[in-house]
Structure 1
Amino acid sequence: MSLDRPALLQGIVKLAREAGDRILTIYHQDFDIKVKDDSSPVTEADEAAEAIILTGLAELTPDIPVLAEEAQAAGKEPDLSGGVFWLVDPLDGTREFINRRGDFTVNIALVEHGVATMGVIHVPARETTYFAEGRGRVWRQNGNGAPVPIAVRTAPEDGLVVVASRSHRTPETDAYIEKFKVKELISAGSSLKLCLIAEGKADLYPRFGRTMEWDIGAGQAILEAAGGTVETVDGAPLRYGKAGYDNPFFIAKGRL
């Protein structure tokens, strides 16, 4: 498939920001919370943001199917047999959103034959966007400022900065972290954890808990473009288009 990748990436950045603006409008109001069949929460912000993204993707790439979290939860299964599709989590970190914490994100990723090749993560409450479309082609943009290239760092000798889930911490995660010399442990929500490693503010994110493909695709594209890795606990690359869309446990890291 022939794509104008730089132009498409800018279109996706714009779309993620539009969805983020809608999320923030709802964030500053009273909103209802529903519970999905998997017991996870969903709000009108999730649904409104996804509607904006789906409409925009249909205009940008009408021939590429979309696997989106809320549509999938409603029973809409796209045909992904062509191997190229969009992954959308319109509001990653819904619990952070509900609890009025700012580390919730909009995630959009392009998957090509199992690999997340393009990714955009927008952090509405921080007016920050991370985006990538290939190794070494990854940036962070604050507000309307100039995009700044980012890269992972080499882990410092005095200890790692480790990021872990605020809402989904497990004993297995703690046991894994104990293997390393740790200088600082940061609890954070959503895919922002992957961005912190990509921009050299953290070194390691072990995830021994359930995640879905739309939770991780954009973050993996960004982190790998910045020189990091996202692998299963057995060292295999994390891939997409799996039956059921569940991810195995994984380790995201910079240069250790």
Structure 2
Amino acid sequence: METKTRTTVLHKAETRGKANHGWLNSHHTFSFANYYNPDRMNFGVLRVLNDDVVAAGRGFGTHPHNNMEIISIPLEGDLEHKDSMGTSAVIKQGDIQVMSAGTGILHSEYNANQDKEVKFLQIWVVPNKEGVEPRYDQISLNLGDRKNKLQQILSPNSEDEGVWIHQNAWFNMTFLEAGKSLNYQLKDAENNGVYAFVINGELTLNGQKLSKRDGFGLWDLEELEITADSDTELLLMEVPMNIA
């Protein structure tokens, strides 16, 4: 009798880890800081997916990282970044920030506004090479280019669309209007899976109904079929399933 291997994992929004520090309200899709769940350590090389809300004028003081690819995606407000390479920058919705921590880096992140919260996704990807020279980059994208189509925001290639990281990964975002559909073809179906994170709205992905802040991972497939059940904002992260 053939045994069917599970090839999906569903993380409903309400099952995520939570941390409310007053100035920071964070939801953790995967184990992070004081939230530990042995069944929620990672999705392939996708190690951290934090949904952060930072109070006006507050933020993360200077702290270290190494050998991790760190991506920040602002959803609302302005996030100020400073690091030990001398970088000082502010990112907002439509911007994508990447930091290759490599041999080691110190940085801080603060809400640049004194009158409103900043909301952003903090994502960590395990790199395919360690000990690289630390690197910072950010880009501004046209939000209109993701209306009813996928906009690539990250890849392994510095010459490709979006930012690049030291990993065989591709990220895409879309604003999909209710009733609209699109497909996503995996770049490396043999080795990669896709983790979908619904930022807003409701959709159906390969038959699975998903709502705001739900996460859904799929592997051993070549294509995703996505239909918006309401106006939807979606992040797709194609990543290797095996950590080298």
Same fold (TM over 0.5): no
Give the structure with the larger helix fraction.
1
Give the structure with the larger strand fraction.
2
The alignment's TM-score, normalised by the length of structure 1, stands at: 0.27
The alignment's TM-score, normalised by the length of structure 2, stands at: 0.28
